[in-house]
């Protein structure tokens, strides 16, 4: 079976007209099959970057840098507007993780059209008044993840990428990661990480192993369990079917207990615990649902 897992899927991708770049399938820690349509080079992961931030937050919390229920305003007293609303004062780290900051529409960085004129994006985020109580309603907002990046920088004295290199990327053997920056030089968090397709396999395997990699604890098992479990409903959020199954801490829930780090245009690290498998892929397609249906119907049954 090794080397043949993807044969039918490759045919399916061609027939579907999906612009795929590369895919890797790993089970029990062993690479079963991979296929490339384009040269192997680092790809923008878009919002798949968010899941790496989630693990960074878990590492920082493990180290005692801050806590899940710390309020966001407590980290940035110098950036707050003159009047802070009650809802804004209530917003916590957990609310950022589950995309429930209390705003009715994205506050920051969801596309070039609403990147703020304010140079300090944290200040711009904190100036937005939440419409409802934080922690209740899912509104997908890359600004939430950017604020997590800034909280890590504020509490550790290091940019997110520099903080994660010795704690996550280096141990996993992910060489030379790059992360796009905001005007002040902070890693975007919500997007901008660039990796090759296979470089996310150890990330997924580490998650499968409860936060361990090669006999080293990367992040606590409790954090992995919470981050990759259902935390908030995503019903009616306007995404395709596989994004209506709920959200964890910057991870999308999937069928049969699986979960995904997922980015725009078809980037993914798909973790399937009941198969002890990880599938990573990069693409540029508007038809992300068909990409996933092919995995569920063709690839996963073979594992």
pLDDT of residue 104: 87
Residue 114 dihedral angles phi and psi, to the nearest 5° = -125, 40
Q: Is 222 left (phi over 0), alpha (psi -120 to 50) or beta?
A: alpha
Inform me whether the pLDDT recorded for 192 exceeds 70.
yes
Domain coordinates in residue numbering, the chain: 7-302
For 21, residues 6+ apart whose C-beta sits below 8 A from its C-beta are: 36, 37, 38, 43, 197, 281, 282, 283, 284
pLDDT of residue 240: 56
In Å, what is the CA distance from 42 to each residue of 113, 156, 192, 200, 299? 25, 28, 11, 11, 24
pLDDT in tens, 93-125: 999 999 999 998 887 755 444 556 678 999 999
Q: How confident is the model at residue 166 (pLDDT cuts 50, 70, 90)?
A: very high
* Other beta carbons less than 10 A from residue 124's beta carbon: 20
**Which of 93, 20, 11, 9 minimizes the C-alpha distance to 54?**
93
pLDDT in tens, 197-232: 999 999 999 999 999 999 999 999 999 999 999 999
pLDDT of residue 117: 66
Bridge partners, 194 (sequence order): 44, 178
Inform me whether the pLDDT recorded for 248 exceeds 60.
yes
pLDDT of residue 112: 46
3-state secondary structure of 157: coil
Bridge partners, 33 (sequence order): 25
3-state secondary structure of 36: strand
Of 13-27, 114-128, 168-182, the range with the lowest mean pLDDT is 114-128
Rounded-to-integer distance, Cα 16 and Cα 270, Å: 20
Average pLDDT over residues 65-84: 96
Inform me whether the pLDDT recorded for 241 exceeds 90.
no
Q: How confident is the model at residue 4 (pLDDT cuts 50, 70, 90)?
A: confident
pLDDT in tens, 46-74: 999 999 999 999 999 999 999 999 999 99
pLDDT of residue 113: 45
Q: What is the CATH number of domain 7-302?
A: 3.40.710.10
Rounded-to-integer distance, Cα 204 and Cα 277, Å: 8
Rounded-to-integer distance, Cα 141 and Cα 181, Å: 17
Average pLDDT over residues 240-261: 89
């Amino acid at each position: 079976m090794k080397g043949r897992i993807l044969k039918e899927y490759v045919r399916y991708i061609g027939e579907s007209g999906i612009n795929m770049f590369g895919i890797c399938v790993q089970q029990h820690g062993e690479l079963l099959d991979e296929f490339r349509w384009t040269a192997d080079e680092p790809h923008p992961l878009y919002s798949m970057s968010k899941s790496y931030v989630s693990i960074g937050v878990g590492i920082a919390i493990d180290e005692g840098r801050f806590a899940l229920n710390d309020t966001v305003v407590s980290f940035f007293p110098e950036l707050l507007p003159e009047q802070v609303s009650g809802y804004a004062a209530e917003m916590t780290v957990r609310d950022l993780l589950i995309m429930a900051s209390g705003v009715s529409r994205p506050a920051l960085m969801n596309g070039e059209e609403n990147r703020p004129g304010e140079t300090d994006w944290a200040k711009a985020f904190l100036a937005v008044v939440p419409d409802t109580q934080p922690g209740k309603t899912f509104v997908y907002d890359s600004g939430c993840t950017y604020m997590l990046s800034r909280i890590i920088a504020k509490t550790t004295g290091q940019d997110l990428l520099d903080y994660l290199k010795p704690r996550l990327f280096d141990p996993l053997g992910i060489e030379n990661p790059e992360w796009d920056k905001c005007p002040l030089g902070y890693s975007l968090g919500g997007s901008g990480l660039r990796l090759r397709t296979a470089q996310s396999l150890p990330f997924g395997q580490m998650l499968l192993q409860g936060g361990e990699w090669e006999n080293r604890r990367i992040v606590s098992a409790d954090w992995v369990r919470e981050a990759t479990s259902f935390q908030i409903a995503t019903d009616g959020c306007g995404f395709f079917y596989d994004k209506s199954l709920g959200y964890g801490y910057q991870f999308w829930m999937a069928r049969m207990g699986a979960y995904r780090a997922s980015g725009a245009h078809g980037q993914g690290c798909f973790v399937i615990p009941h198969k002890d498998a990880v599938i990573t892929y990069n693409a540029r397609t508007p038809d992300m649902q068909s990409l996933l249906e092919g995995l569920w119907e063709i690839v996963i049954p073979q594992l």
